Structure 1
Amino acid sequence: MEKGEGIGLGNAKGRNEVQAVIFDWAGTTVDYGCLAPVEAFVEIFRIREIEITIEEAREPMGLSKMDHIRELLNMTRIRNLWIAKFAKEPDEGNLEFLYKDFEALLLKVLKENAKPIPGVIELVRRLRQQGIKIGSTTGYTREMINIVKEEAKIWGYQPDSIVASNDVPAGRPAPWMCFKTAMDLQVYPLSKIVKVGDTISDIKEGISAGMWTVAVLKGGSEIGLSETEINEMDPYELQSRMKTAENRFLNAGADFVIDEIGDLLEIIDRIDYRLTEKKDTFIS
């Protein structure tokens, strides 16, 4: 496994290569285990007497929340349960009602699930010391992320740019949130930006945007465990789960997979080296 406030033009502190990092929010920088949305996804089906699993709820994680619910309804098992319950296939009207319920449930719990993941505050501090700008994208809507950002700010996390899924024509895996972030940060070329996230959708978003991609395991949705569960889990079982998630990320095209968010600093150094090497080869 590979380890790893101001906006101005260029790089203020002389770093030659990586100039910006774009983080996801839930499961990457806040909300260890990405718990808040998962509980809401399960509940909106439970109140309709349809039981979906935690694994099913997590499968489309990273998409805009409307697209996430649409993907859940398209899953064969869930679709069949819906038909058995309501004697018809789910339609766009059902999707709208499910989303409204989801939004109401999620807005109630977001504030309690906005604490930064251990290592994030120190990581951001060190990245900024190196002149690297901090962007962020999210599957949350603007209304949702506004709640999260205010609470995260109290804890000490405040990225330079925040782009929500409804700020652009389409959310992940489309690249538009990453493109808007690059414009907000005034950083280019996009090969000097690193996209970091905890879902397959995050990786696809970064790939679509032509950026370096880094997947995070601990704290993220692919592992899907709280900090307490990870600390108490049998080490061999944990390593097995992490290896499975790592392979999924690598198969999706991730450039790097890291155990936890603090390992990103080493990855930045590796990317710097690769970019410098390419530049030197081109010059020679």
Structure 2
Amino acid sequence: MNYSNPAQLQAAILDWAGTVVDFGSFAPTQIFVEAFAEFGVSLTLEEARGPMGMGKWDHIRTLCNVPTIASRYHQAFGRLPTDEDVTAIYQRFMPLQIDKIALHSALVPGALQTLRRLRANGLKIGSCSGYPKRVMDKVVALAASSGYVADHVVATDETPNGRPWPAQALANVIALGIEDVAACVKVDDTLPGILEGRRAGMWTVALMCSGNALGLTWEGYQALTSEQLQHQRMRIAALFEGAQPHYLVDTLNGLPAVVNDINRRLAAGEMPQTAQANALLGSLG
């Protein structure tokens, strides 16, 4: 038996908030601000967005390691935040998140049509998230009520390691029965999510405008002038550069064109581990 490269993609592994639902990724960021506030520690939305894509406990730990935030915590409690303090914030974050997740559960405009096109091209739809299963169950139910049902879902606490480790993406490969990791494309709006896909040996697509990096509502995104939009694309592309995504597009709606290009590259013998990265395709939606 000999190895041969896959000839075309078999699955798209999609993130949730900022990718398929919650344009601008507001659900987790706003709740981080509220959870820290309940401990008397101020946090801006921009600060809260910093480690986005990680599991939520790790996200809070990373925020607490930021010197300016740690200093605010020290002023409030007379000590730097310990892991026990992180757990206390996390335990307050969780019920807030579950209670308010429905406020930011709308599908990204055009997502359902895009997903139908992907399925029509024979792709299975896997998914993973930085949300734990308790939150993910509610997100999945809300999405289903709007017509989106992924073929498989992996929450951050269902694998030994969350992002940027590759475990969640690889769990999708196993569950979906995919022959080769190179036949998968991982789509995400965060650095840890792109690193997850890269480390799993997949093609990767970074979303520049629907998620954490731009941080605008759909209406805010639509209101940008062409000059403003291009400036933001270049800024966000620079943020993603270290993770080396293979493609950068505005939203999920640019994915069908990317899939066609990846299939062309696979047919030509290219593989994600060695393929040129950072193709800026912002005009693809």
Scaled by the length of structure 1, what TM-score is found? 0.90
Map 1:157-196 to 2 at 5 A: 157-196=148-187
Map 1:254-269 to 2 at 5 A: 254-269=245-260
Equivalent position to 2:116, from 118, 125, 128: 125
The aligned amino acid for 1:169 is P
Could you tell me how far 1:234 is from its partner in structure 2? 4.2
Distance 1:130 1:73 in 2: 44
Alignment match, 1:209: 200
Alignment match, 1:135: 126
Distance 1:112 1:52 in 2: 20
Q: Does the residue aligned with 2:268 lie in a helix, a strand or coil?
A: helix
Distance 2:230 2:32 in 1: 27
1:103 aligns with 2:94: yes
Contact 1:250–1:256 (8 Å) recurs in 2: no
The alignment-based identity, stated in percent, is: 34
Distance 1:243 1:264 in 2: 19
Cα deviation code 1:216-253 (max 9, x no counterpart): 12211111111122223344333222211112223321
Equivalent position to 1:253, from 244, 268, 275: 244
Distance 1:150 1:133 in 2: 19
Alignment match, 1:229: 220
Contact 1:28–1:197 (8 Å) recurs in 2: yes
Could you tell me how far 1:48 is from its partner in structure 2? 2.2
The aligned amino acid for 2:228 is E
Displacement over 4 Å in runs of 4+? none
Distance 1:276 1:38 in 2: 40
Cα deviation code 1:181-223 (max 9, x no counterpart): 0011000210010000000011000011010000012211111
1:93 aligns with 2:75: no
Alignment match, 1:74: 65
Distance 2:176 2:146 in 1: 23
Distance 2:109 2:206 in 1: 16
Give the count of matched residue pairs: 265
Contact 2:54–2:163 (8 Å) recurs in 1: yes
Distance 1:227 1:249 in 2: 21
Could you tell me how far 1:255 is from its partner in structure 2? 0.6
Contact 1:193–1:211 (8 Å) recurs in 2: yes
The aligned amino acid for 1:148 is V
Contact 2:19–2:251 (8 Å) recurs in 1: no
Which consecutive unaligned segments of at least 5 residues does structure 1 have?
1-14, 280-284
The aligned amino acid for 1:245 is I
RMSD: 1.3
Which consecutive unaligned segments of at least 5 residues does structure 2 have?
1-5, 271-285
Scaled by the length of structure 2, what TM-score is found? 0.90
Could you tell me how far 1:147 is from its partner in structure 2? 0.3
Distance 1:198 1:212 in 2: 14
Q: Does the residue aligned with 1:110 lie in a helix, a strand or coil?
A: helix
Contact 1:137–1:165 (8 Å) recurs in 2: yes
The higher relative CO (CA closer than 8 Å, separation ≥ 6) is in 1
Could you tell me how far 1:162 is from its partner in structure 2? 0.2
